[in-house]
Amino acid sequence: MPNTLIPAEERLILALDVPHPDAARSLVETLGDSVRFYKIGLELCMAGGYFELLDWLLERNKKVFVDLKFFDVPETVKSAVRALSGRGASFATVHGNQAIMEAAGAVKGDLKILAVTVLTSLDRGDLDDLGFACDVGALVLSRARRALAAGCDGVVSSGLEAAALKRECGDRLLVVTPGIRPVENRPADDQKRTVDVAQAIANGADYLVIGRPIRQAPDPQAAAWQVQEQIRRALQA
């Protein structure tokens, strides 16, 4: 089961994967109170004004997930996380080996560090290409154990592995789940290991990261409220 201490309305994290901070601000204003938590990633980082956007979100009482997947030599990651730790973000991602995760965990302060396990855009064939002989579930659990030992606060994982993660780690690790799709994927969708809202919550996911199904909806605010209602129902089931 997901952590009962997390407010239901904060479990939806909207992925602000848009090309410019102005587009991000416009979407946030459109969504209004339907979304409390936002993820800002690489696309916005490359557009300029990243930290100005972060501050703008915080000024509006939004929570922020910095999704830059820090992956570099440990000292560089440590310096980056130390610099970020005082900026007011709630979550940040690291994507590396044990030494990288430990470096991030050592200087995180109030920032919660999430270790990326296996990207939801990867399937068994992709792992074969990367040289991983184990199956996806085994790799995710191995990464989660290492993350916990390294001082990370949570993992980013498909909802397909959330139940196994909760059985293994309980509430010692947050489970943040991207790749949420309310309907079957379109052929052009790059997410391969997906679940819907109800399944993700039932499997124990603590937070759901959703982007395109809300951003591309005819009425994004209505779509966000619909997801919030689905989360509430799933938590009560």
- The confidence score (pLDDT) of residue 133 equals 52
Answer yes or no: is 64 within a domain: yes
- The confidence score (pLDDT) of residue 215 equals 94
CA distance 150 to 106: 9
Average pLDDT over residues 187-213: 80
Cα–Cα distances (Å) from 138 to 129, 133, 135, in that order, read: 17, 10, 6
- The confidence score (pLDDT) of residue 2 equals 63
Average pLDDT over residues 218-225: 96
- The confidence score (pLDDT) of residue 186 equals 44
Average pLDDT over residues 213-218: 94
Answer yes or no: is 225 within a domain: yes
Q: Which residue has the higher pLDDT, 96 or 81?
A: 81
| CB-CB contact of 49 with 16 (8 Å) | no
CATH of the domain at 151: 3.20.20.70
Answer yes or no: is 164 within a domain: yes
Answer yes or no: is 62 within a domain: yes
Q: Which phi and psi angles does 84 have, rounded to 5°?
A: -75, -25
- The confidence score (pLDDT) of residue 36 equals 98
Question: Rg of the chain's alpha carbons, rounded to an integer?
Answer: 17
Answer yes or no: is 2 within a domain: no
Average pLDDT over residues 161-178: 91
How do beta strands 91-94 and 154-156 pair?
unpaired
| Band of pLDDT at residue 143, cut at 50, 70 and 90 | confident
- The confidence score (pLDDT) of residue 182 equals 64
Which stretch of 2-6, 124-128, 150-154 has the lowest confidence by average pLDDT?
124-128
Express each pLDDT in 111-142 by its tens digit.
999 998 865 554 555 445 545 555 767 777 88
Q: Which amino acids are annotated catalytic? A: 69
Answer yes or no: is 209 within a domain: yes
Q: Say if residue 230's pLDDT is above 80.
A: yes
pLDDT, the chain, mean: 88
- The confidence score (pLDDT) of residue 129 equals 56
Answer yes or no: is 1 within a domain: no
What is the residue range of 109's domain? 8-236
Which amino acid type is present at position 119? Answer: L
Count of C-beta atoms within a 10 Å radius of residue 228: 19
| CB-CB contact of 161 with 134 (8 Å) | no
- The confidence score (pLDDT) of residue 100 equals 94
Which stretch of 53-67, 71-85, 94-108, 193-207 has the lowest confidence by average pLDDT?
193-207
Answer yes or no: is 218 within a domain: yes
Average pLDDT over residues 205-219: 95
Report the number of distinct structural domains present in the chain: 1
